[in-house]
Amino acid sequence: MSNTSQKRAIKNYRHRLAERGMARFEVLALEADRDLIRSLAKRLADDGPEANRIRSIVSQSVEGAPPPKGGILEALRRSPLVGADLDLTRSRETGRKVDL
C-alpha cells in the first residue's frame, strides 16, 4: 500500500493535470502499438494547430466519414510556388510527320 505522502503526491499530480484540462486514462492495445499511441498522445496533449489537424484526421479515420471538400485546394494554396508567376501555357505545335 502507498503511504500518506505518496497518496498526497498522486492527488496533487492529478489535480494539476485537471487544471490543465488533461486526464490520465488507461488504454488496451497491442504491444507493437505502444510507441505509436504514446507519441500520438503527446502530440495531442500539445493542443496546437498540429494537434487539431491530427485530431480531425484520426476522427475521420475512425468514423469512416469522407474527407472534407477543398483539401486539394488548401494544399495548393500552401504550396511554395504560390505567387511564383510560372508560365504554364502549352505550345500548340502540329508535330512532325512520320513514315510508317
Q: Does residue 92 sit within a domain?
A: no
Question: Which residue range(s) make up the domain with 39?
Answer: 29-69
Q: Does residue 57 sit within a domain?
A: yes
Q: Does residue 43 sit within a domain?
A: yes
How sure is the predictor about 69, in pLDDT bands with cuts at 50, 70 and 90? Answer: confident
Handedness of CA 44, 49, 52, 54 (dihedral sign): negative
**What pLDDT was estimated at residue 94?**
82
**What pLDDT was estimated at residue 37?**
92
Q: Does residue 59 sit within a domain?
A: yes
Q: What is the pTM assigned to this prediction?
A: 0.51
Is residue 1 pLDDT above 80, yes or no?
A: no
**What pLDDT was estimated at residue 96?**
85
Q: Does residue 48 sit within a domain?
A: yes
> Residue 66 and residue 60: Cα distance in Å, rounded?
7
Taking the CA atoms of the chain, what radius of gyration do you get in angstroms? Answer: 26
pLDDT tens by residue, 9-57: 999 999 998 998 888 888 899 999 999 999 999 999 888 889 999 998 8
**What pLDDT was estimated at residue 65?**
64
Q: Does residue 40 sit within a domain?
A: yes
Average pLDDT, the chain: 86
Instruction: Name the more confident of 76 and 6.
Output: 6
Q: Does residue 53 sit within a domain?
A: yes
Instruction: Count how many domains the chain has.
Output: 1
Is residue 59 pLDDT above 90, yes or no?
A: no
Q: Does residue 35 sit within a domain?
A: yes
